[in-house]
Amino acid sequence: MRAAPTILHLDMDAFFAAVEQAAKPSLRGKPVIVGGLGPRGVVATASYEARRFGVRSAMPMAQARRLAPNAAYLVPRFSVYRSVSGQVMELLGRLSPLVEPLSLDEAFVDLEAGGAAHDGEAARAVGERLRGDIRAVTGLTGSVGLAGSKMLAKIASEQAKPDGLVLIEPGTERALLAPMGVRTLPGVGPATGEHLRRAGMTTVADLAEAGEDELVRLLGRAHGASLYAMALGRDDRPVVAERDAKSISVEDTFDVDLHDRARVRWEVERLAERCVRRLRDAGRSGRTVVLKVRRYDFSTLTRSETLRGPTDDPVVVREAAARLLDAVDTTGGVRLLGVGVSGLAGFTQEDLFAQASADAAPVSDGAPPGEGAGGPERTPADAGPGPAGGVGAVAAGGGEPAPEERRWAAGADVRHAAYGPGWVQGSGLGRVTVRFEEPGSAPGRVRTFRTDDPDLEPSDPLPLVPGRGQPLPPAGVPGSLSAEGADGRARP
């Protein structure tokens, strides 16, 4: 524990939804929900306006639509979120060499290590300046917590939401924590919280009064001792600049269960290609290929194969994933597939190319074989709003997607030859509705076109703050390094 509140925790406010509201002036002040739009989609982030209706992250999208039927529902644009996150992380890096990102929208900063602050007054000034800089660069708001430990800094930022700053003075920790629920403390999830409740402990004060021996008896030595220390406000975890990912993975959930074995294999090979693209973008290679299969009854199987050394060869990963699939029974249907690579390294074992068939050809990005009803819904970890082949897009009549038919995902960036930049509000029945506006403009007008209108084209996203920086990278760019089975943390 530090004698000064020089650990800063930044949490951007409703980040994904806030980015969409900044990019689309007509959505400012309106309920916005970002996530998978198919029948099995889930909410990635809900704006504060949508939260008033009870919508929360990780909620099934069908439930969100019942609670907020008039909200704007958009697919995630992760390439845009990563770009904006990079701008925010660059600002944090100017404060200290010790920045610990937790996700795209959240990070700890050790202000003392960077010489930015050594006491409470200076720390508060740094925090306020940071909030102003974030607004100037991105047009977004973030909440800042300052304390003498990581745990308390995070609690402070939660209290500061939205768009505020809270500083916890050293020495006030126990009084602050005492009335809070046990779930406030790191490491106390639903199961542990219920276990403690049955033991009569619902607040942090209850934990402190129970004593270390009782908590160790209930939860085990490591967890019990750690929880008791945190109940007393003690947390000596340092800010760690490097948080190396354990794996890189992608997965798809399907609107309709897949039964055709050839279609399942095609999807696995396609996922393997996407996984390798992310692997290469991160400048990494991996030694273990992992296949994830969730069947019709929600049972989930994982299979893995360890290679002779690390690789980033798409053929090697694709063939390994296919071999793993051969050992899985998909009778009854498949609702989710995933391919990942773990055992990451920064180099490639060249002789692994011999593991691939010399004449193997890359998998085409064309239509899959077998059944075409219910195209894949991209999960939030890898969703992209590309105008063609959007979330859950299928051809009329449920057959294979017609290659000449263009489909437009809600929220996708477009440009019209006559009307300029805009974004897709919705599409269907051969029509696409576009609102023509851009960041910094007044709310724009809405027009409807044929989906094959030659004057309407997909467009790169525009900067959220006009006149600052270059256009953002095109949507659908493969993702960045992620933790096991997740893209950092797809959450608000």
From the list 20, 49, 100, 106, the catalytic residue is 106
Q: Coil, helix or strand for 9?
A: strand
Would you state the structure tokens that stand for residue 248, as one six-digit string? 């890189």
| Spatial separation of the C-alpha atoms in residues 79 and 385, rounded to whole Å | 10
Q: What single string gives the DSSP state of each residue in 340-390? A: EEEEEESS--GGGGGGS-TTPPPPPSSPPSS--SSPEEEPTTT----SSS-
CA 249 to each of CA 49, 58, 391: distance values in angstroms, whole numbers, following the listed order: 32, 19, 19
Q: What are phi and psi of 217, to 5 degrees?
A: -65, -40
| Spatial separation of the C-alpha atoms in residues 123 and 126, rounded to whole Å | 5
Q: Coil, helix or strand for 2?
A: coil
| Spatial separation of the C-alpha atoms in residues 482 and 492, rounded to whole Å | 17
Q: What are phi and psi of 469, to 5 degrees?
A: 85, 175
Q: Coil, helix or strand for 435?
A: strand
Residue 173, H or E segment: helix 173-177
Report whether 31 contacts 53 (CB < 8 A): yes
| Spatial separation of the C-alpha atoms in residues 174 and 69, rounded to whole Å | 43
Q: What single string gives the DSSP state of each residue in 26-53? A: GGTTS-EEEE--STT-BEEEE-HHHHTT
| Spatial separation of the C-alpha atoms in residues 166 and 172, rounded to whole Å | 13
To the query of whether residue 305 is one of the catalytic residues in this protein, the response is no
Would you state the structure tokens that stand for residue 306, as one six-digit string? 């360890």
Instruction: Kindly list the catalytic residues.
Output: 106
